[in-house]
Structures are given as structure tokens and as C-alpha cells.
Chains A and B, each alone.
Chain A
Amino acid sequence: MRTIALFTCVIVAGFSVGAYAATEVIHQQGRAFSSETISVKKGEAVTFLNDDTVPHNIMSASKGNEFNLGSQAPGTSTDVTFKEAGDVQVICAIHPRMKMMVKVTD
């Protein structure tokens, strides 16, 4: 019974995450984000696509929306879904000139 409950839970979580369609794609060519500022709705995903020639380490320490993609290899992409409304300062830990703001709205 417990196993089934857990299984259901995973399915539901799977569906809900699957439903987050990435509305914005942020490119990283030339050690720069393709946008300085974007706006997304709470629960929407942003795709961080490393289409550069070197790894990047995209992350944020903004309260409620912290994340760290670690070393993201060229030719990979990762979706990040923001859960709290507010301004999220996104940086690359490797390249200090790479900074952008994601404005998360309710």
C-alpha cells in the first residue's frame, strides 16, 4: 500500500513538472547571457542552454529561488522552474561578467 502511494506521488510530481513548459530559452554564447532581464510567471520554467564552447556554472542565491546547475557542459540544456515571486539574480560562478535578472511574477 505504501509503495503504491509513493508510486502515485512520483507520477503526479512527474506530470506536474512535465506541465511546466519552458517559455524562455537563455543562450550563453560568447560568455554572455542572451538576455539581461526576462520576466516569467511563477511555476514556469526557464531553459538555460549552454551553446557556448566552454562550460558554465549558472546559479542563483536569491532567496526562495536558489539553484546551482554545477558545471554545465557545452551542448546541454537544463530547465529551472522558479517557485517564488520576486527578482532572481542569476550569475555564472565561473565568469563574473555573466549576470542576468529573472523577474518572477505571481
Chain B
Amino acid sequence: MPELGSYRSRILAGTIASAALGVLGFSTIGFGAAVVGESRKAEITQKAPSSLDALKAQYRRPASIPFPKDNPYTPDKAALGKKLYFDTRLSVSSAQSCASCHSPGFGWGDGLAVGVGHGMAKLGRHSPTIVNAAWSAIFMWDGRLPTLEDQALGPIQSPGEMNMKLDDLMARLASIPEYKPMFDASFPGQGMTAKALAQAIATYERTVVSERAPFDAWIEGNEKAIPEAAKRGFAVFNGKAQCAACHEGWNFTNEGFQDIGLPSTDIGRGEYLPGVIKMQHAFKTPGLREINRRSPFMHDGSLATLEAVIDHYDHGGVDRPSRSDLMRPLGLTAQEKADLVAFLKTLTSELEPTAVPVLPR
């Protein structure tokens, strides 16, 4: 048996090592491998089942926005970032800004099934919201970018999206007189660089936070803040439907990657980890804040309504080796499904209108 285990782990390791190139930063492939023993059943001591109050405490809003040490918040930088975010001159056609696909009007998405890029061509995936991106651990549906700063530069340069070369972009921005003093104020002594541009946009994006929703008032003790159906839905969400296994915490995501069995040929994270079965067709779990404003849903925008999403999970999706072990038919009743929808609706805040900035000329 140990022979078999060792052999199997070697085969897997070879594929993983090649898969990890670029993702985990290894430039060479080793021939050795760790020895993996047989899997055993184990006695485990789970913490006692949480009381409702303990459970609710896990969903409490954070008090402040986290900013990275190497790109701290300043008001100037966030203001510059906001102008850049809404500036269509960041695209080669001068027709698209970040806000084209991540618009405050659509819960910071675009309301389309899949995004529209350069030349009005359809993109492969649904534009994700940027709400609460400050709390993200990894970016893009397939997790290929490690920071929000990297993410900011991705769509700008992508030929299918804004199609803008960074050198050309910085030259174009330098030709707009009002930008230079703003860069100087935000990044003293650094000049107008692509790095500064990315830092400014990311800083603005981190300030895009979902506001208090009825759910938050309930979590903090106001029993009248949400309907009884939503409270039942919260129990189903954390219990029978197991939604909270992935949609956990105040922003309703643990940033994990799962194949939830959507019938799509897109392999998602599998492109970066080809040897890892469970990453085939796996996509990042999105948060659920402002969910009412974000239809259609899923990485491919294939489900139009929250009811359709819940039916998908209830059904369990396409059974294939990569499908998450958490996906299986749930046997939800019509009442439970309706309660889940009622609960999800309590996660949408009264978002204050976002003023479009006056752009530098």
C-alpha cells in the first residue's frame, strides 16, 4: 500500500509542479515528491454547535476598511483614484472606463450576463462586483491576480477589454494638464507612473463598501429589522442548504474556489492548477452583499434570478469529478427556498448615490 501511495503522489506531484509554474513561483520541476499515506478516518472534536447569538456574531460588520501597508489610504489618493476609475480615456478607444463594467448603478457590476469589452465584443465571464474588494484575498473569477493593484491594471491592458498599453496610457494622461498636480499630491516625488495609477485606483476601489443593510441591523439586535421569513432563511442558509460553507462571514465569502456544477466548458481556476482535479471548473466564491442589484448571477451570468440560483444549488448541478463535494441535491422545500430568497434580500443596503467626478481636462 505505501508503494502505491508513493507512486500516486509522484504522478500527481509532477502535474502540480508544472501547474504551479507562475502561480506559486517555482521555475523548475523536481522529480522527488513527498510520500502520501493512506487516508484514515479520524476522531474529531468539533466545537459545540453555535447558538444563534454566536452564529450572528460571525456576521458582524468590521469597524474599518483594511488598506495594505505598501499602499495606505490618503484622501488625495482616493480622490485621484476615483477620477481615474470613471475616466474613459483609460481605454484605447476612450469609450470605456472601469465604471463601464463595474458601475455603481448595478451594484458595481454591469447588469449584463457577460461583460462587454473592446469593440463591444462580449467577454467570457460575468463582470464581478467590486463592492467590498478591500477584504478580498485574491482577484478575478479564476484567482489569477494576487492584489487589487494588479487587478486594476489587468483589464486596462487586456486586448479584449480596454486594450490600452500602459506606456501609451501614461503618455496620454500626462497630456492632460490637470492630472499631474493630482499625481504629485498623492505620490510625492514619484511622477506619473503606472504603479501610482494602479495604487490610486485600488485605493478608491477599497472605499467602495456596502452600506448598512437591514441584515446588519438584525445582527446588531433589532429584531424588527428583517421579516420572519428572512430569519428562517438565515437558518436554512447556515443549516440544511450549507450556503455558509463558502459564503461565510460578513461579506458572505471565504474567497474559496469551487466547481458548483454549472454546465460550462470554462475551466476557471483549472487553467492555473491543471493537475488539481477540484480546481477544474472552479471559480471564486463571490460575496453576497448588494446581491439584489447584481443579476444575472454566476461566473457566466447564466442564471437570471435568485430563485434560479437556489434551484441550481437544490438540484446539485453537473456531477463530475471536479464538482465540489459540498454540491449535492439538497431537497429544499418551496418554503425553504422562499425563505432563502427573503434572507438574501436583506443583504442589500440603501446605497447612497455615487457622484460621477468632474474629470481633468
Which of A9, A65, A76 is the one whose CB lies under 8 Å from B33? A65
Interface residues on chain B, size class = 35 or more
Min CB gap A60→B, angstroms:
7
The answer to whether A61 touches B34, judged by C-beta atoms less than 8 angstroms apart, is no
Min CB gap A89→B, angstroms:
7
Q: Given A59-B16, A59-B276, A93-B278, is A76 in contact with B26 using a C-beta cutoff of 8 Å?
A: no
The answer to whether A55 touches B324, judged by C-beta atoms less than 8 angstroms apart, is yes
CA–CA, A56 and B17, complex, Å: 19
CA–CA, A63 and B25, complex, Å: 11
Residues of B within 8 A of A20 (CB): 35
A31, A59, A60, A79 pick with most chain B CB within 10 angstroms: A59
Which of A49, A53, A93 is the one whose CB lies under 8 Å from B279? A93
CA–CA, A96 and B143, complex, Å: 9
Min CB gap B14→A, angstroms:
7
Q: Which of A83-101 contact B (CB under 8 A)?
A: 83-84, 88-89, 91, 93-97
Residues of A within 8 A of B16 (CB): 59-61, 66, 68
Residues of B within 8 A of A9 (CB): 3
Q: Which of B181-189, B253-261, B353-361 contacts its partner?
A: B253-261
Interface membership of chain A positions 21-61, coded 1 if the CB is closer than 8 angstroms to chain B and 0 otherwise: 00000000101000000000000010001110111010111
Residues of B within 8 A of A59 (CB): 16, 276
Asked if B130 is an interface residue, CB under 8 A from chain A, the answer is: no
CA–CA, A35 and B272, complex, Å: 26
Residues of B within 8 A of A105 (CB): none
Which of B36, B42, B47, B256 is the one whose CB lies under 8 Å from A67? B36
Interface membership of chain B positions 1-43, coded 1 if the CB is closer than 8 angstroms to chain A and 0 otherwise: 1110010010011101101100010101110111111111110
Asked if B286 is an interface residue, CB under 8 A from chain A, the answer is: no
Q: Given A71-B278, A84-B32, is A10 in contact with B3 using a C-beta cutoff of 8 Å?
A: yes
The answer to whether B32 touches A78, judged by C-beta atoms less than 8 angstroms apart, is no
The answer to whether A63 touches B17, judged by C-beta atoms less than 8 angstroms apart, is yes
Q: Could you pull out 19 A-B pairs where Cβ atoms are within 8 angstroms?
A: A14-B1, A17-B35, A31-B254, A49-B42, A51-B44, A57-B276, A59-B16, A61-B13, A61-B19, A63-B32, A67-B12, A67-B33, A68-B276, A74-B44, A75-B42, A89-B24, A94-B257, A94-B278, A96-B137
Give B contacts to A, CB under 8 Å: 1-3, 6, 9, 12-14, 16-17, 19-20, 24, 26, 28-30, 32-42, 44-47, 137-138, 143, 245-246, 248, 254-258, 273, 275-279, 282, 324-326
Give A contacts to B, CB under 8 Å: 9-10, 13-14, 16-17, 20, 29, 31, 45, 49-51, 53-55, 57, 59-84, 88-89, 91, 93-97
